[in-house]
Structure 1
């Protein structure tokens, strides 16, 4: 048997045949490994919290948006954007029910005949449609935004983990930017930040008492964080106040035969100023895109004033590092900001590990490379992200005393970082700068 076939067979066996330790009475089937589970060397805050996790799917309609992909008579018409969102939340798990869910995902790229869509499933540790657990008070809100291309499900290791720690987590499928509906890049350039802020408004409405939504009374939208990866990072920085540069507006116009729609999200635009939402308290930006393409400049980055955690790979070949992500970090001079760097990692410092199905022979290499890091174990990256995002959001949204997890030397030359087991913080760097 070929090595990759043997590996696939063994991993499938591990995932599908184990039984649950949670219910000895009925021995409910439960996989022994799910994305986000801990490796032995996981740092301290990577472990799940004490809450059960529920998950539900919502469809939201963002009406009357500019359709830059289908101009008519030289003008962009308006259209309704359908945004599918996945919501993870603290939940009551009934006796006899396994905290287990199957997610439906695809590989490939819509409208690319060389990469047809291939459905697959993977499992997570949540219960579909479980009753919410109101706990002792309202939970902070976390909104998650994927890359181009991507999906709302590609960070389940993190979204489930945060929900178990007392957050309501809403991850967006950005229309025209997912594997299933990939379309022109200008849509992603224009709509990321406005999608994020729209979803915040819609979730806030559903959280009000008397709405009949499962979110009613469950969350505090006035205590929100935005989390984005790649183009999602590009969007959350803008939603949080960083204006796009004149060069970005010019580039957008060249891509759209003269559209000026991106002007509304540029530095100094009244629309950008009016859209700044005081309910957003913090930002996590994984590998944010755009600096090497002139999307950001000093004036625009000065508009970011919220506490921000940047997470990057030092060999990022999509967003760039020294002249890309690190330059954004350096330029955000008005933000209390941190930057975690994975040395020798490339761009994939945010998603789940590669699915088993991506190992099939004959598939385009990109199906595997969308998730994998050549020099890192993706499960280890996931555990480290769980640790630091937990610490950061704990400080910013829950006012927890987690500062010690960031009060670190730039690297571990002087000894292991706080929260890490001996010898396990190698290959990481942490920076911190204040306004």
Structure 2
């Protein structure tokens, strides 16, 4: 395979914060083990073990050479592609600094590389970024949907705990007292729960929910949901978050969200439904929140990396081209990636690093954008009541 798909492209239209070169970055792979987890197959509330492949991007030593590749499975679960970025595999971590943690959580299905463009961009901005394969929700292991509903927030918190327990140079670098979560689609569903938005009784009884009312542990007002709230989580960025269309939250649940939130959504998203995502934005009355809308973009707005050439041909398994999992019919993917990188830098700069100067980039005047490059974008903000 001699083709590469670049995931670090910056277009001439890119807004200011996406243009910043930042620091040298490295990447490492490891395996995260989560013990005493619930088991959807048996209905047991505890006792199972989950293995999550984990990729970690981080600021590297200043003299680290840049450039590397990622060998990734595509949506069809059969073909592979080689992605090319800037991170150097297994490079020594930067010393003498600490870096806030950002967890990236993919959709159903997906894998840890789906938002690699954001991972590399944020690592260059000085964050440690960790993304796992959510077992049972990947391209080659797309299991019962109840596994995704139950485990997505548990996995996200498990990644935080795993990173906090890390030793060596990465353990010295990462600051797990200040954590952000980015979630796409079902990852966005998980991020909302992780951020405090407890589920409804209707969610627990949903036709695709796990058995034995296992989902009740995430229900708004329950002792288990309240006990799971992690003060280390300071902000979340759901992209195309799934769930509100299907009654996963009500007014009480959304009002329980307790960390600043930036939602990104396509107005033509027929998976998560744009009006349902607006409902999350409007209903999360207890926190500062923002909604960045991409006019006429679908469910793939902003999150996935640019479609690899290997994804273009129709898959016999799917009956459609995997390309459709990554691309948007209206928007250029790289343009959207750069916009997402810009806003992620601003949002987490404010809420993880305390950089109040970054707040100016979150207004509706599109600070940092070149003239003529904001057509089709809408930025709205609401404060806590």
The TM-score normalised by the length of structure 1 is: 0.84
Cα deviation, residue 365, structure 1: 2.6
Residues 173-212 of structure 1: CA distance to partner in whole angstroms, max 9, x if unpaired?
Answer: 1110011211110000000101111110111111xxxx3x
> Structure 2: how far apart are the matches of 1:370 and 1:345?
13
> Structure 2: how far apart are the matches of 1:270 and 1:150?
31
Corresponding residue number in structure 1 for 2:205: 250
**1:156 partnered with 2:128:** no
Corresponding residue number in structure 2 for 1:91: 60
Cα deviation, residue 84, structure 1: 0.9
Cα deviation, residue 116, structure 1: 5.0
Corresponding residue number in structure 2 for 1:120: 81
Corresponding residue number in structure 2 for 1:426: 375
Pairwise CA RMSD: 1.8
Which of 348, 358, 363 is equivalent to 1:393? 348
Corresponding residue number in structure 1 for 2:287: 335
Contact 1:241 1:304 in 2 (8 A): yes
> Structure 1: how far apart are the matches of 2:381 and 2:190?
22
Corresponding residue number in structure 1 for 2:29: 57
Contact 1:53 1:88 in 2 (8 A): yes
Residues 282-327 of structure 1: CA distance to partner in whole angstroms, max 9, x if unpaired?
Answer: 11010110011011111111110211000000011100011x1111
The alignment partner of 2:322 has SS state of helix
Corresponding residue number in structure 2 for 1:195: 155
Equivalences for residues 25-64 of structure 1 within 5 A: 34-64=6-36
Corresponding residue number in structure 2 for 1:181: 141
**1:348 partnered with 2:304:** no
Corresponding residue number in structure 1 for 2:228: 275
Cα deviation, residue 216, structure 1: 2.1
Show structure 1 runs of 5+ residues with no match. 1-8, 16-32, 109-114, 410-416
Which of 333, 345, 348 is equivalent to 1:378? 333
Cα deviation, residue 379, structure 1: 0.5
Change (3 A) 1:360 1:48: farther
Contact 1:93 1:127 in 2 (8 A): no
Cα deviation, residue 421, structure 1: 0.7
Corresponding residue number in structure 1 for 2:67: 100
Cα deviation, residue 430, structure 1: 0.6
Cα deviation, residue 120, structure 1: 2.3
The alignment partner of 1:214 has SS state of helix
The alignment partner of 2:334 has SS state of helix
Aligned length: 379
Moved >3 Å (runs of 4+):
74-78, 360-364
Residues 247-274 of structure 1: CA distance to partner in whole angstroms, max 9, x if unpaired?
Answer: 001116x654x42111011011111101
Change (3 A) 1:334 1:128: same
> Structure 2: how far apart are the matches of 1:100 and 1:93?
14
Cα deviation, residue 36, structure 1: 2.8
Change (3 A) 1:245 1:320: same
Residues 327-368 of structure 1: CA distance to partner in whole angstroms, max 9, x if unpaired?
Answer: 111110101000000000010021101111112366643401
> Structure 1: how far apart are the matches of 2:309 and 2:145?
29
Identify the structure with bigger relative contact order (alpha carbons < 8 Å, sequence gap 6+).
2
Change (3 A) 1:263 1:362: closer
Change (3 A) 1:366 1:304: farther
- Structure index of larger Rg: 1
> Structure 2: how far apart are the matches of 1:320 and 1:175?
26
> Structure 2: how far apart are the matches of 1:139 and 1:193?
23
> Structure 2: how far apart are the matches of 1:189 and 1:361?
29
Contact 1:36 1:383 in 2 (8 A): no
Corresponding residue number in structure 1 for 2:99: 139
Contact 2:203 2:209 in 1 (8 A): no
Which of 187, 196, 200 is equivalent to 1:232? 187
Change (3 A) 1:106 1:248: same
